[in-house]
Structures are given as structure tokens and as C-alpha cells.
Amino acid sequence: MMVVPTDVYLEQVKIQVRTKGRYPTDKHEDHKDRCLQLAAEVFEVLELAEWKPHRHDRTKPIDREKLKDELVDVYKFWLNLLIIHGIGPQEFEDAYNKKHGIVLDRLRQEGL
């Protein structure tokens, strides 16, 4: 299973190369900025759910097209974090599989 498709990753790398001058050269500042961008996109996903019960009609369905659009933004900003830290698709897949194994072990221990 390829957790991060290589072609998608490489396309995002191309975008990062083209926009390199827009981000701080300090690794910690760049990391912080990318995390804030990712968080902002995640909050846009949250807003689609109209989660404030006192201000919205919670019976209204979530707009599926907007949801997909925002989730793509989340995915792209998440990929940016992998890229700036030099974590490629295979390295991430290995880390994912390791963590997934830990989660499965915990679920088995809990009888789930």
C-alpha cells in the first residue's frame, strides 16, 4: 500500500520549488508557518460542519464538493511538511506502518 503516491508527492515538490522564495529560510520558522497553514485549512474543514449549535442549522448537510476541496488543501499542506523535512513517500509509509502496528496492538489488548 502506498500511503503517499509518489507522483502526487513529486508534483507537490515542483510547487515547493516554484514557491521557495515565499517561505522563511529558517527551518523552524518554515515549519511553524506550514503548521499554521495546515491548521487554518483544518479549521476550514471544521467550519463546513457548522459546529456551533447556537449559530447554525445542524440539520443542513455538509457540502461534499467544498469538503473535498478543503481536504485537498489539507493534504497539500501536510505534504509540504513532509517535503520541507525531507521525508519521502517510502520513509513516511514505513513510519505509518510502524505506528499502525502499534495502534492495532493496542486495539487487540483492549479486545477490540
pLDDT of residue 61: 85
DSSP annotation of 20 reads G
Radius of gyration (C-alpha) of the chain in whole angstroms: 18
pLDDT at 20 over 90: no
Helix (H), strand (E) at residue 76: helix 64-84
Q: Does pLDDT of 96 surpass 90?
A: yes
Go through the domains of the chain in sequence order and give each one's CATH number. Answer: 6-109 (1.10.287.1080)
- Summarised one tens digit per residue, pLDDT across range 22-80 is 887 888 999 999 999 999 999 999 989 877 777 666 677 889 999 999 999 999 999 99
The pLDDT score that the predictor gives to residue 60 is 78
